[in-house]
């Protein structure tokens, strides 16, 4: 079993766009003696990052070339914008020059690159046929990273992310949750702690050029997840709303443009991963238990 292994020796990780998933990885690496430099866009978030033991850097706004030269590993969580990949736009030459010294480079992408498969299964070998601007931008970003010669690149295609602070409970409690119904619609999802353990395992056993899907074992209709959350809370089921007539933002509606089930066999076969949260039921149960523990601690 490979997952959970300790990565020996003092090493440095440069984390660009040090957000939700990167913070979960940092919590695993810092106790092992890793030095982690994390970029963020604001002083407020920099203070939050510093409180976790990560060295914050406000970027854009400073030169990262020295940090890049010191790094053994590079994690890129910052997604593409209207002008393309922001990291490569600012640092491509520096990254190419630093490539020989980087043992591992991880790029966090999305399963949105596969596009719509009408509820069918996809794996890492499936064609990339995105139908949204976000998906097209991700394919372009992946291609740009793959074009850097000699880069020990690993691409991680993430399904919908949930975890502490990112669950459906708040909306269900507030009475604002809805069960959007679209026939045949199915999504894959992944708990943030499972993202972290996959990244940790990949750092321990690099395989340059690898592409991994990160998702759990149970692709499911989104309304089922909302319903389970309500059941756990002992609250009435949120109302069903037909997708065609639902009042949704263009961004929210665009997520329903694609339906697919994502396979995760490769992370299990190559990295020895045993998912901590194999389906949304296990994941939501754990989130609720964690909320209750935190509430009890705060009341002591």
Domains of the chain: 12-165+188-217+262-278 (3.40.50.720)
Rounded CA gap, 114 and 123, in Å?
A: 9
pTM for the predicted model, two decimal places? 0.94
Rounded CA gap, 120 and 174, in Å?
A: 34
Residue 156 phi/psi, 5-degree rounding, is: -115, 115
Burial of 298 (0-12, 13-18, 19+ CB in 10 A): exposed
How confident is the prediction along the chain (300 residues), in pLDDT tens digits per residue? 344 454 555 799 999 999 999 999 999 999 999 999 999 999 999 999 999 999 999 999 899 999 999 999 999 999 998 889 999 999 999 999 999 999 999 999 999 999 999 999 999 999 999 989 999 999 999 999 999 999 999 999 999 999 999 999 999 999 999 999 999 999 999 999 999 999 999 999 999 999 999 999 999 999 999 999 999 999 999 999 999 999 999 888 888 999 999 999 999 999 999 999 999 999 999 999 999 888 777 665
Query: Would you call 236 helix, strand, or coil by DSSP?
Result: coil
Contact 64, 93 (CB under 8 A): no
In DSSP terms, which residues pair with 110 in a beta bridge?
Answer: 158
User: Is cis: bond before 60, omega within 30 of 0?
Assistant: yes
According to the 3-state scheme, what is the secondary structure of 131-162?
Answer: CCHHHHHHHHHHHHHHCCCCCCEEEEEECEEE
Rounded to a whole number, what is the distance in angstroms from the first to the last CA of the chain? 39
């Amino acid at each position: 079993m490979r997952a959970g292994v300790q990565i020996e020796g003092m090493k440095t990780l440069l984390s660009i766009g040090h957000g939700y998933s990167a913070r979960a990885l940092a919590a695993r690496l810092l106790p092992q003696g890793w030095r982690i430099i994390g970029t963020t866009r604001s002083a407020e978030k920099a203070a939050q990052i510093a409180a976790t033991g990560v060295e914050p850097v406000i970027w854009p706004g400073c030169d990262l070339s020295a940090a890049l030269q010191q790094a053994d590993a590079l994690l890129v969580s910052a997604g593409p914008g209207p002008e393309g990949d922001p990291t490569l736009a600012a640092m491509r030459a520096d990254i190419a020059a630093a490539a020989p010294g980087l043992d591992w480079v991880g790029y966090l992408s999305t399963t949105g690159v596969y596009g719509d498969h009408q509820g069918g299964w996809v794996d890492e070998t499936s064609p990339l046929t995105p139908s949204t601007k976000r998906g097209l931008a991700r394919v372009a970003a992946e291609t740009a990273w793959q074009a850097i010669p000699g880069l020990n690149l690993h691409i991680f295609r993430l399904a919908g992310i949930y975890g502490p602070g990112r669950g459906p409970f708040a909306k269900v409690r507030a009475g604002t949750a809805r069960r959007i119904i679209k026939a045949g619609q199915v999504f894959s999802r992944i708990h943030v702690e499972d993202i972290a353990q996959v990244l940790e395992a990949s750092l321990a056993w690099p395989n340059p050029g690898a592409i991994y899907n990160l998702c759990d074992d149970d692709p499911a209709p989104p309304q089922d997840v909302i319903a389970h959350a309500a059941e756990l809370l002992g609250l009435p089921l949120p109302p069903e709303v037909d997708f065609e007539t639902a009042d949704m933002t263009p961004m929210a509606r665009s997520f329903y443009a694609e339906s697919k089930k994502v396979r995760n066999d490769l992370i299990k076969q190559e990295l020895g991963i045993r998912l901590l949260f194999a389906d949304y039921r296990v994941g939501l149960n754990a989130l609720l238990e964690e909320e209750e523990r935190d509430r009890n601690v705060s009341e002591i």
